[in-house]
Each structure stands twice: as structure tokens, then as C-alpha cells.
Amino acid sequence: MRNILSHGRVLMALLAGSMTAAAQAALGLPHAWRPLLIASLGTFVIYNLNHLWDVREDAINAPGRRAWRAHSASYWRVVMVLAAVGGLFLAGSGGQLMLLLTLILVAVGLAYSIPWPLQSGAPLRLKGKVGLNLVLIGAGWAMMGVGLPLVEAGASLALPAVLMALWVAGISGILATVFDLRDLPGDTGQGLGTLALLLGPAKARRFLMGWCALSAATIVGAVGLGFFPPGVLTAMLAPGAAFVWVARWPLDSPSPEGYSDGLLLAAVAASWLTVLALRVFG
């Protein structure tokens, strides 16, 4: 089960659905399962495709994942196809705008992951371009976490939705950089450019801790200005968990994969605690 959750990127899919649910509740939108399921299924497919192209990096960063994928490739690809079909079916059932937004999200995810062939040299991967990779990740997660619920509810894009999109984008960027910090050996060997590689482990750690604090402060400020009810403050647990992870991660050795999975589970729990605080306690 742990292999499926971790190596099969099921945890990332759970996180996508959880953050979408948190954004939906924070914006006071009616609860609807369709955006959550589209977010989860789409994330599952995109992240699994990304790791199909990360074979060389995973050989260094996560040899266990590479071995599991080789063993389970035959049936796991069937699961990916079924997830893709299910996600597109749900998007189509939500109308043309929902389908269009879902296709845009798929395009952003593929643009980030695909090795684009060049006339000479190694293929270009946008995930290895510092800055652009974080923009694509943040934009994709923001459109997914906030855009899908807004389209489902037929709501317009107001300032609270923009603030919530910034929170979703910020958390996704924090997690991406945390995992880049963890994956430094493989990314360095394959020539991928990441913020962690550009800054180095020590500076990247300080940058991330500041980023976590800024994310939490944004939520506090938004609640203080009356954009969100106080229950949204539970969302600070997500950057808080990342802050603790970064503070405890040893600079001189890569983190065990299970430690990273614990961070994802903490972010999932923080999102659902936010939903609970808003839906039940108001």
C-alpha cells in the first residue's frame, strides 16, 4: 500500500483534491465532488507521466520508485488510462467551460513534464528551468484548486478567490522546492535547474522557511481584513508542516522518501482540517 501511495503518486492526487476542497470551503462555495475528483484524477495522471520521464533522475533520487514502476508498469498504465478517461468524462459532464479549464490544466502539466526535442543537444524540459518551473506549478495548482470550484459553482473571480489562489500556488511551490531540495543529487547529475540547486542547500533552506512564514502571514492578514472566516487559519498548518520539515532536514544527507511522504500527509490533513473547521464550525 505504501508503494502505491508514494511511488504511484496517489498521495499527490489526494493532496490536489484536499486543497481544492479547502479552497471551495474557504470561498463559501457549495460543496461539490466533481472539482475534487477532476483535480485528484488529473494530478494522478500528470505526476505519473512526469515520473515516466524521470527515469534517470529516479535512478539516483528514488531507486525504490524506479524498481516499483518497472515491476508494476503493465497494470499501472491501465490505471492511468482509466483515471484520464474518468477525469475527462467528469469535466465534460460539467459543461464546456469545465472541460476547457481541465484541458488547459492538462496542457500546463504536460508542458512542464515533457522532454521537448531540440535540433541539437539534450531534450528541453521546462521543469528544469529555474523560475519558469515554479510559475507553471503555481499557475496549474491555482487554476485547479480555485478555478475548478469557481466554474462548478458558476461564481466570478473576486479578490478572496485571488488570495486563495495565491495560497494554493504558494503551497504547491513550497512543496515542489522542498522535494527539489531532497532530490538534489539526481537533479544535479541530469543537469536540471531548480531553485534548490541554484541557491544551494543552506540558502534554499532559509529561503523556504521565509516562504512558509510569508504563506502563513498571508492567511492571517486575509482573515484579519475580513476576506475569510477565522476557520481558514487552520490552513496555516500546511506551510507550518513544511517549515518543520525544512528545519529538521539534515543538510548533509538526502531525506528518506518516507519522511517526504509524511509532509504530504500533513498537508492533506491540514487541508481537510480547514474544510472541517469551515463546514462544521463555520
**Cβ atoms 62, 188 nearer than 8 A:** no
pLDDT at residue 214 in the model: 86
Grid cell at residue 204: 534554499
Write down the mean pLDDT value for the chain. Answer: 82
Report percent pLDDT > 70 for the chain.
Answer: 81
pLDDT of residue 60: 60
Question: Is the pLDDT confidence value at 40 over 60?
Answer: yes
**In the chain, where does DSSP find H-type helix?**
2-6, 10-26, 33-52, 55-61, 63-93, 96-113, 132-142, 148-153, 159-182, 184-189, 195-199, 201-224, 237-248, 257-279
* Per-range mean pLDDT, top range of 58-72, 113-127, 172-186, 244-258: 172-186
**101 has a pLDDT exceeding 60:** yes
Q: Which domain holds residue 150?
A: 2-279
Contacts of 32 (CB under 8 A, 6+ apart): 24, 149, 152, 153
Query: What nine digits make up the cell of 215?
Result: 504563506
Whole-number Å distance between alpha carbons of 194 and 180:
7
Q: What is the pLDDT of residues 48-91, one digit of tens each?
A: 887 776 666 665 666 666 665 666 767 778 888 999 999 999 99
* Contact assessment for residue 39 and residue 28, using Cβ atoms and an 8 Å cutoff: no
pTM assigned to the model: 0.87
Cβ count within 10 A of residue 107? 11
Does the pLDDT at position 134 exceed 60?
Answer: yes
Q: What is the pLDDT of residues 203-223, one digit of tens each?
A: 888 888 888 888 888 888 888
> 3-state DSSP call for residue 124?
strand
Instruction: Return the bridge partners of 116, or none.
Output: 124
How confident is residue 17, by pLDDT bands cut at 50, 70 and 90?
very high
Confidence of residue 102 (pLDDT cuts 50, 70, 90): very high
Total domains in the chain come to 1
Task: Give the CATH number for residue 155.
Answer: 1.10.600
- Average pLDDT of span 252-258: 55
> According to the model, what pLDDT value does residue 32 have?
93
Return the pLDDT at 8.
54
Q: Which residue has the higher pLDDT, 181 or 189?
A: 181
